[in-house]
Amino acid sequence: MLTSLVRALRPRQWSKNLLVFVAPAAAGAFHHRGTILDSLGAFGIFCAAASSTYLLNDSMDADSDRLHPVKQNRPIASGDLAIPVAISAGVILGVGSVVAAWALAGWKLALIVALYAVITAAYSVYFKRVPVVELAFLASGFVLRALAGGIATHVPISTWFLAVTSFGALFVAAGKRSAELKALGDDSEDHRRVLGDYTTSFLQSTLTLTAAVTVAAYCLWAFGSEGLAPRSIHHDTIWIQLSVVPVTLGILHVLRLLDRGEGGAPEDLVFRDRVLQILGVMWVAFFAAGVYG
């Protein structure tokens, strides 16, 4: 049972929680040991909060997950983990993450974690059936992670950073739905009712729109007076400017994968896709060189 419970926590998806490091890293605050420790604390809190929502969501969706070629192997859907055990563990992790957030950074971080839990619960209960709106709910989880990183480390969040995070998250959400629609075909609505309200052309248009805005917003974040450029060492912005290249190539690469019906799970791309990994390392190198020198 313990092994099944650990699997149900979806540790592979904790890679999404790396977003908590972006705001303090972009602010050049990782020179301070306290900032690093606070970021690690926020990362751990969101791992617990996210796993709590996974347990509760999988308990509610067990029947529909059994119709999915991949999700049917999840511990709850397969019957390896009893639903009452999963729900109990989910509640404990959820409450514990809010308490830990308050202890780490006060009521603001606790509010962000609680809001994440409420939005995820509302999504699971009702809004996952509402087309377009469900994409916003799905994307909000990424945005709240990014906000949590800034709040935990007391780093101000710029307007363009929020824009990049928000539209990038919408791009990921639309990509997930696009991949599901192509993978499941005629059975897509049986697994996820909202897929019956989407068409391939609509999701492709959504991907194109969100990808374009994400790249544009990143350029404005990188070059604007409220973005990364003023933090560049001696205002030598060449490295910050070069960071636009791997971001753009990464989005184009994901678009190519999605067009083939692949790449719908961000955590799989992080661990398996070599091209995206190389582009990610390039981005980190340019980003670090520009902000930290």
Report pLDDT digits (tens) over 232-289.
555 567 888 889 999 999 999 999 988 887 766 777 777 788 999 999 999 999 888 8
pLDDT at site 98: 94
Query: Cα separation of 244 and 251, whole Å?
Result: 11
Amino acid residing at 250: G
Residues of the chain above pLDDT 90, percent: 39
pLDDT at site 207: 93
Asked if 174 contacts 206 with a C-beta cutoff of 8 angstroms, the reply is: yes
Q: Is the pLDDT higher at 192 or at 235?
A: 192
Give residue-wise pLDDT tens across range 105-137. Answer: 899 999 999 999 999 888 888 888 899 999 999
Query: Which range among 3-7, 41-45, 235-239 shows the weakest confidence by mean pLDDT?
Result: 235-239
Domains of the chain in sequence order: 1-156 (1.10.357.140)
pLDDT at site 220: 87
Query: Cα separation of 218 and 212, whole Å?
Result: 10
pLDDT at site 233: 52
pLDDT at site 72: 80
Helix/strand/coil for 281: helix
Query: Cα separation of 145 and 73, whole Å?
Result: 28
Query: Cα separation of 32 and 102, whole Å?
Result: 22
Q: How confident is the model at residue 197 (pLDDT cuts 50, 70, 90)?
A: confident
Could you give the residue ranges of the DSSP H alpha helices within the chain? 2-8, 22-26, 33-60, 62-65, 75-78, 83-105, 107-125, 133-152, 159-184, 188-191, 200-223, 238-242, 244-259, 266-272, 274-292
Percentages of the chain per state (helix, strand, coil), in multiples of 5: 85, 0, 15
* pLDDT at residue 40 greater than cutoff 90: yes
Q: Where are the beta strands (DSSP E) in the chain?
A: none
Q: How confident is the model at residue 171 (pLDDT cuts 50, 70, 90)?
A: very high
* pLDDT at residue 221 greater than cutoff 60: yes
Q: What is the mean pLDDT of the chain?
A: 86
* pLDDT at residue 290 greater than cutoff 70: yes
Q: How confident is the model at residue 187 (pLDDT cuts 50, 70, 90)?
A: low
| pTM to 2 decimal places | 0.84
User: Phi and psi dihedrals of 182, rounded to 5?
Assistant: -75, -35
The structure tokens 């969501």 sit at 57
Task: Give the up-direction half-sphere exposure of residue 44: CA atoms within 13 A in the CB hemisphere.
Answer: 11
Residues of the chain above pLDDT 70, percent: 93
Helix/strand/coil for 199: coil
The stretch 208-229 carries a mean pLDDT of 84
**What's the DSSP call for residue 28?**
T
* pLDDT at residue 159 greater than cutoff 90: no
Helix/strand/coil for 1: coil
Total residues found in the chain within this entry: 293
Query: Which range among 185-194, 195-204, 236-245, 254-263 shows the weakest confidence by mean pLDDT?
Result: 185-194
The stretch 30-56 carries a mean pLDDT of 90
Burial class (CB in 10 A: 0-12, 13-18, 19+), 1: exposed
User: How is residue 169 written in tokens?
Assistant: 């998250």
